Structure 1
Amino acid sequence: MKIGLMGGTFDPVHIGHLIAAQSVYEELELDEVWFMPTSMPPHKEQAPGASPEQRWQMVCLAVEDHPAFKPSDVELRKGGISYSIETVLMLRSRYPEHEFYYIIGADMVQYLPKWYRIDELIKHVTFVGLRRPGYETGCDALPAPIRKAVRLASMPQIELSSTGIRQRRAEGRSVRYMVPDRVNDYIEVNRLYEA
């Protein structure tokens, strides 16, 4: 099976994440896309606004209607800082027959040489960089072995971020239509991200 991996804090998960996953799912003809909320990402200083359990619940709600989108709590159960190489090696040992495609934003492609144990990581996964208008992937400047492990896929331009959604909530503004309806309901019921 060809499996797309989508990691992130998902604080909260929003329609941009789902559109990105759908774009790669179709373009690369994947069998499934697994959404993996991180416990603590290595590159973010600030703690997420929602608890790991709340972020997990929102991801489950966001993907429950899509037959090929699956929530995965592999990084949440591990706890601590989430390094992609550790997650991918764990998944490879559990599912040796699967091919894994790690989905990242166009802005992250140029930073791949700085990823922890990247030389090992590229042996186990293909990176899929999402092309967005106005963003240079920097793919051509990557060292050859890393460049060979990167495929580019396109997605519609969606100007949405979890940071912006949290900010809107803090200002008392609606995030309806920016997140799936069930996620919006969950955020409102649990009064997440309010000032």
Structure 2
Amino acid sequence: MSERKKVGILGGTFNPPHIGHLMIAEGVRDAAGLDEIRFMPNAIPPHKVKEGDAEPWQRLEMTKLAVGGNPSFTVEPIEVESGGVSYTSRTMDLLLEREPGSDFSFIIGGDSIEQLHTWHDIDALVEKVAFIGVPRPGSSASGRYPVRMVSIPQIDLSSTILRQKLEAGRSVRYLVPDPVIRFIREEGLYEGRTS
């Protein structure tokens, strides 16, 4: 009997993906002994889309560019391809059905741990997947659901800050992988955004 594959899922908007995402993924992969990390962009961002924002296919493409070159990183397109609002519980049902030989862990930041009780169908979800938490600056990382915390280097960086820098024409070098920066420029992303 073959050994079960340990897969970590890092979901998010990735608007744009940045080194903070990559640091979290590699830190968790190493600390939790995972075989693979899958970056899973959502289809519809949890906030209102602004003019000049990236479309779901562009966020998916940027994520692919960001993880290129790391054999332990892949991109899971299931939510973008499904379209609409995605619920983690339903997505994990689909992944578990597709890959019964894999054990999935869902990676979340400390701020999300505090909000787990608000997630759709959370009681069923915690029976399907393990949660791995990483500390985030300014969050207590506490909640009532079981989360395995791992200690990794923290960086106070958000996609929101990066979109503001890009909109203002400021440098994001060393904060966003070079292939992603090239794609942003080629696609004219985050220019002329309205607040």
Structure 2 length as normaliser, TM-score?
A: 0.92
Distance 1:45 1:64 in 2: 27
Task: Note if contact 2:39-2:74 (Cα within 8 Å) is conserved in structure 1.
Answer: yes
Q: CA deviation at 1:135?
A: 2.8
Matches within 5 A, 1:175-186: 175-186=172-183
Letter in 2 for 1:34: R
**Partner residue of 2:93?**
89
Indicate yes or no: 2:112 matched with 1:108: yes
Deviation beyond 2 Å, 4+ runs, structure 1: 132-135
Cα displacement (A) at 1:134: 4.5
| C-alpha displacement of 1:93 | 0.3
Q: Deviations over 1:80-139 (max 9, x none)?
A: 001000110000000111110100111110111111000100111001110245531114
The aligned residue for residue 77 of structure 2 is: 73
Tell me if structure 2 keeps the 8 A contact 1:24–1:153. yes
Cα RMSD of the aligned pairs, angstroms, is: 1.2
Asked if the contact 1:9/1:55 (under 8 Å) is kept, the reply is yes
Residue 155 of structure 1 aligns with which residue?
152
Q: In the alignment, is the contact (CA less than 8 A) between 2:39 and 2:75 conserved in 1?
A: yes
**Corresponding residue pairs, total:** 186
CA distance in 1, matches of 2:167, 2:137: 29
**What SS class does the counterpart of residue 38 from structure 2 fall into?**
strand
Quote the Cα distance in structure 2 between the aligned partners of 1:176 and 1:52: 23
Structure 2 SS opposite 1:169: helix
Residue 167 of structure 2 corresponds to residue 170 of structure 1? yes
> Which ranges of structure 2 fall in alignment gaps of 5 or more residues?
none
**Corresponding position of 1:32:** 36
TM-score (norm 1): 0.92
